[in-house]
Amino acid sequence: MSAEWQPQASESWKISFTCTKQEAEAITGEVPALEAFDPPPLLVANEPDPARPDDWRIEAYVEGPPSDALIATLKTLAPGGGEPVIERIEDADWVTISQAYLEPLRIGRFHVHTAAHSDGIPADAIRFQIEASRAFGTGHHETTTGCLEMLDRLEREGADFANIADIGAGTGLLAFASRALWPRAQILAADIDPISIAVTAENMAVNGIPADSITLAVADGVAAPAIADQAPFDLLIANILAGPLIALAPSFAAVIAPGATIILAGLLATQERAVLEAFAAYGLDIRARLQHGDWPILALRRAP
């Protein structure tokens, strides 16, 4: 996180409220209602009592006293959670606090951790340090976890890719994982949010990834000169939302090669059929499928 986004300790506030597990999963994904705030709150979900798996707690960290509008928005996202508890955090770094809840993850060969958990990393793991930030994709949401698992699975099954695009890159984690699995491939990471691309560049430096090894682009879908220049791709990853996936199906199909694979995530199981139909219209059929909670991860393949 760059200095211009770093809140001062004296300006840090925390909003705590209870919710269901389903609400926690939705809130810690991409929530357009929260993205409207500048800056949006950083959210941490945790399960206080393992004996009560449906009772979760959300902590929202913000710069300065939270507005009535933000509190009202948070309450609509967890309507059964009661009144939130609002407190000022004295002499505390809210990002460090939030990172303490982001436990390390082992997903296939990948080990994803924050600086607070940089010890005890397995020697055989492909490690990435990804901090809590204003970009989606620390690895803790089931869609990101599923995409990492799908990438690991495809490589183990012998898939080989030479030109890879991560659309909706967030923190850059999926682009980093692709580079680790297919080190000779060209990699491109794009996101509609310039902040996400800045965070991806910072994460590249943190993880020792050379600046020229991944092309970065701010793009609405695949509408950017850098994407057109590098197309056609033989692997395209898109962990976004069902509506945008359906809308982007024709433009995704236009930038992939014959025989290419597309990994789709961010859709709910109830939205899967509509997404599959949108891509089937362009000759893309199921190659592999995973599911984490309510979130399917689809690998589609175009015929050679």
CATH number for 32: 3.30.70.120
For residues 140 and 41, membership in a common domain is answered with: no
For residues 135 and 216, membership in a common domain is answered with: yes
- pLDDT tens digits, one per residue of 143-162: 888 999 999 999 999 999 99
pLDDT of residue 3: 29
CA atoms lying within 13 Å on the CB side of residue 87: 9
125 and 269 in contact (C-beta within 8 Å)? Answer: no
For residues 95 and 136, membership in a common domain is answered with: no
Please indicate, yes or no, if residue 118 is contained in any of the structural domains. no
Give the residue among 171, 30, 153, 34 at the shortest CA–CA distance from 112.
171
For residues 72 and 173, membership in a common domain is answered with: no
For residues 95 and 144, membership in a common domain is answered with: no
Give the residue among 142, 144, 153, 149 at the shortest CA–CA distance from 171.
144
- pLDDT tens digits, one per residue of 90-133: 645 555 555 555 666 778 888 887 766 667 777 788 888 887 65
User: Considering the entire predicted model, what is its pTM?
Assistant: 0.69
For residues 165 and 278, membership in a common domain is answered with: yes
**Using CA atoms, how far apart are residues 206 and 199, in angstroms rounded to an integer?**
10
Across the chain, mean pLDDT equals 83
The angle subtended at Cα 226 by Cα 223 and Cα 227, nearest 5°, is 55
Q: Is 215 annotated as a binding residue?
A: no
Q: Is 144 annotated as a binding residue?
A: yes
pLDDT of residue 6: 35
Range of the domain at 34: 3-101
Q: Is 195 exposed, middle or buried (0-12, 13-18, 19+ CB in 10 A)?
A: middle
Mean pLDDT value of segment 34-39 = 78
pLDDT band at 1 (very low <50, low <70, confident <90, very high): very low
Q: Which of 56, 80, 101 is the last residue of a domain?
A: 101
Please indicate, yes or no, if residue 112 is contained in any of the structural domains. no
- pLDDT tens digits, one per residue of 229-279: 999 999 999 998 889 999 999 999 999 999 999 999 988 889 999 999 999
Give the residue among 271, 299, 270 at the shortest CA–CA distance from 285.
299
Please indicate, yes or no, if residue 119 is contained in any of the structural domains. no
pLDDT at 65 > cutoff 90: no
How many domains is the chain partitioned into structurally? 2
**Using CA atoms, how far apart are residues 219 and 171, in angstroms rounded to an integer?**
15
Please indicate, yes or no, if residue 176 is contained in any of the structural domains. yes
φ/ψ region of 209 (left if φ > 0, alpha if ψ in -120 to 50, else beta) reads beta
Backbone angles phi, psi at 10, to 5 degrees: -70, -10
For residues 22 and 70, membership in a common domain is answered with: yes
pLDDT of residue 4: 31
- How does strand 233-239 pair with strand 163-167? parallel
For residues 277 and 161, membership in a common domain is answered with: yes
| Higher per-residue confidence, 77 vs 219 | 219
For residues 91 and 135, membership in a common domain is answered with: no
Q: Is 46 annotated as a binding residue?
A: no
For residues 135 and 181, membership in a common domain is answered with: yes
pLDDT band at 5 (very low <50, low <70, confident <90, very high): very low
Q: Is 239 annotated as a binding residue?
A: yes
Edge-to-edge strand list for the sheet holding 12-20: 42-46, 55-63, 12-20, 85-88
Most confident residue range from 2-6, 7-11, 25-29:
25-29
For residues 217 and 147, membership in a common domain is answered with: yes
